Structure 1
């Protein structure tokens, strides 16, 4: 019994593993992506329901927090693939629907936006 109690105490006192946040450059890219999604006027489909950009941003930030806590993401691409491309509950892909256009998978939409973010940053940086 004493061994069990000792093991339990050691388990409870053991430091909780916490992940690291995204590196600053990657976090800036993810923030830019989520800002673009929120301000795009597009809708975000998650498990069969459509949500406004602000709701999509809030949901994806929760997923980012989870992934960072598990130390599972270091780049914007990893965030897209592991958190922003589909439901971890149902396995269904997320979709983005913009006015007048057919819905596309969120991974495709976010990767295109990431390229636009990077192109804009490269064009504005001093040479």
Structure 2
């Protein structure tokens, strides 16, 4: 019984130490995902196309998952790499398709939009 109590205590301490994404980084990620939602572009994951709104929702869930598993991104670039570039299930890269343009990897699209977002703040 004492061993079980000790294990439960250690597990609860580990969970308490899980750090959320820094507020400034989370705000930047939310701004980036808002750009995706507002862009009119489509987001491809695992062979299916989704709206920007659906993509935003999916990627925020992945951010929440990272935070709950003590893997919160320290920078927005980390979020792009960890959560917004490839499917965790299949390993396939995510794609973004805007209007008639050829699809591009989400990593490239999001990185460009992040640069624009940061440029608009100065």
Q: Report the TM-score, using the length of structure 2 for normalisation.
A: 0.90
* Aligned CA-pair RMSD: 1.2
2:15 counterpart (14, 17, 20): 17
Map 1:1-127 to 2 at 5 A: 5-14=1-10, 15=12, 16-18=14-16, 19-72=18-71, 73-122=73-122
Question: Structure 2: how far apart are the matches of 1:69 and 1:39?
Answer: 27
Long gaps (5+) in structure 2: none
1:8 Cα offset (Å): 2.0
How far apart are the structure 1 equivalents of 2:91 and 2:104? 16
Greater Cα radius of gyration, structure 1 or 2: 1
Using the size of structure 1 for normalisation, the TM-score is 0.87
Query: 2-side partners of 1:20 and 1:12: how far apart?
Result: 19
Structure 1 unaligned residues grouped into runs of 5+? 123-127
How many pairs align? 118
Report the Cα offset of residue 25 of structure 1.
1.8
